[in-house]
Structure 1
Amino acid sequence: MLDLEPATNNMAELIRGVADDQLQASTPCPDMSLGDLIDHVGGLSLAFTAAASKTSLDGDMGPRADVSQVEPSWRTFIPERLAALAQAWRKDGAWEGFTQAGGVDMPGDVAGLVTLDEVIVHGWDIAAASGQEFTCPPHLLEAAYEFLQASVAENPQGTPGLFDAPVPVADDAPLEDRVIGLTGRDPAWASARR
């Protein structure tokens, strides 16, 4: 069991640091503006909190990506959702048994790693798009890296709807860059925009 709180806290700080005039900014996710991505994070926080507690979401509460749906209080309620997400994955049984996320049944430990991956990678996306610094503890990056390596081994050309084919990154590159490269993102994306 991993404590997701350091990653969710980092993402919450990044979200609070996004300026209103940045919501239309491009992101490493080709079809999403920064506002779309923030909306997506709000929904995935609910979806993966439900996955941890083995409950279902009501109606249209899952992840979407639509800046027009971002509520004015997003800098408050999305960090609150992220805190609840971390808390849910600390509870007994969250990493055990089976659960569902995004309509896919999966073991609890896999769902926990998917959650970690979503928080780390989209945290990096938000940091890159908004010009903020991304940080994540090495042990969480290592867990995400191992998870992503296994995913790439099964789907070397990417996972439709999740990741593009991996971007080549040097074996001696920082762990953060190697994680990001496995998701099909170019670790140099942010610096290329400057």
Structure 2
Amino acid sequence: MEERRDTVYPYLVEAAAEAARVAAGVGAGALDAPSGCGDWDVRTLVNHWVVYSSHGMEHRARRLPLPEELTGRDFTADADWAAGFAAALDRAVAAWAEPDVWDGEIDLGFARQPAPEVATMLWAELVLHGWDVAHATGQEFRLSDGAAALLLHVVEKNAALYRQYEGFADPAEVG
């Protein structure tokens, strides 16, 4: 599957809506619970999810660095963080709606990658951590069959790289 605007963008729209739904279902009492992602609690996971999958996605589309003020922020300190996340996701989706955004490369600070690959990896971040948040808070993260197929493609393509940065555990046998 080739990463292009027409193959990724519709799933970005889908995943953003699902992420906003899951975020709205995270109760304040769940934030201090274990997340299942290493030693992160749900609050730490949510803050990572919010900054990199919404703000990070918008900033990458606009070819802007992610401000340090965002990377250290506790978004969950705001009682209405889920609505803020939904609004940030809307801005990110709107930024990637522009066809020209999918052209050229994006400087990630440590490498330059084609824009469609960056969009797809950010989308996967949104989905995978969306599933993590949903699972940790007793919810489901729902994807269409097409989005699930794209996610499998992205994971298979990038698993070794993600393991280098401790983003993925070792492979596990499944039935």
TM-score by length of 2: 0.84
Q: Distance in 2 between matches of 1:21 and 1:89?
A: 34
**Quick one: which of 41, 58, 68 aligns to 1:49?**
58
1:34 aligns with 2:42: yes
The one-letter code sitting in structure 2 at the alignment partner of 1:38 is V
Secondary structure in 2 matching 1:99: strand
The one-letter code sitting in structure 1 at the alignment partner of 2:31 is L
Alpha-carbon deviations, 1:103-129, whole Å to 9, x = none?
543210110111111111011001100
**Quick one: which of 157, 160, 166 aligns to 1:150?**
157
Q: Residues 47 and 61 of structure 1 are in contact (CA less than 8 Å); yes or no, is this contact kept in structure 2?
A: no
Between Structure 1 and Structure 2, the one with more helix by share is 2
1:74 aligns with 2:78: no
1:157 offset after TM fit, Å?
Answer: 8.7
Paired residue for 2:70? 61
The one-letter code sitting in structure 2 at the alignment partner of 1:12 is A
The one-letter code sitting in structure 2 at the alignment partner of 1:123 is G
Q: Distance in 2 between matches of 1:161 and 1:95?
A: 28
1:25 aligns with 2:33: yes
Paired residue for 2:143? 136
1:49 offset after TM fit, Å?
Answer: 0.9
Q: Where in structure 1 do 4 or more consecutive aligned residues deviate above 6 Å? A: none
The one-letter code sitting in structure 2 at the alignment partner of 1:132 is Q
Q: Distance in 2 between matches of 1:10 and 1:68?
A: 19
Q: Residues 95 and 109 of structure 1 are in contact (CA less than 8 Å); yes or no, is this contact kept in structure 2?
A: yes
Q: Residues 158 and 166 of structure 1 are in contact (CA less than 8 Å); yes or no, is this contact kept in structure 2?
A: no
Q: Distance in 1 between matches of 2:109 and 2:37?
A: 18
Paired residue for 1:159? 164
Secondary structure in 1 matching 2:107: strand
Greater RCO (Cα-Cα under 8 Å, separation 6 or more): 2
Aligned CA distance change for structure 1 residues 108 and 156 (closer, same or farther; 3 Å): closer
Q: Residues 26 and 32 of structure 1 are in contact (CA less than 8 Å); yes or no, is this contact kept in structure 2?
A: yes
1:164 offset after TM fit, Å?
Answer: 2.0
The one-letter code sitting in structure 1 at the alignment partner of 2:15 is A
1:169 aligns with 2:174: yes
Q: Residues 35 and 70 of structure 1 are in contact (CA less than 8 Å); yes or no, is this contact kept in structure 2?
A: no
Q: Distance in 1 between matches of 2:22 and 2:110?
A: 28
Aligned CA distance change for structure 1 residues 59 and 160 (closer, same or farther; 3 Å): closer
The one-letter code sitting in structure 1 at the alignment partner of 2:46 is I
* 5+ residue gaps, structure 2: none
Alpha-carbon deviations, 1:144-194, whole Å to 9, x = none?
211111123xx2892324222222224xxxxxxxxxxxxxxxxxxxxxxxx
Q: Distance in 1 between matches of 2:28 and 2:131?
A: 19
**Quick one: which of 121, 125, 144 aligns to 1:114?**
121
Q: Distance in 2 between matches of 1:26 and 1:132?
A: 15
* 5+ residue gaps, structure 1: 171-194
Identical pairs, percent: 22
CA RMSD across the alignment:
2.2
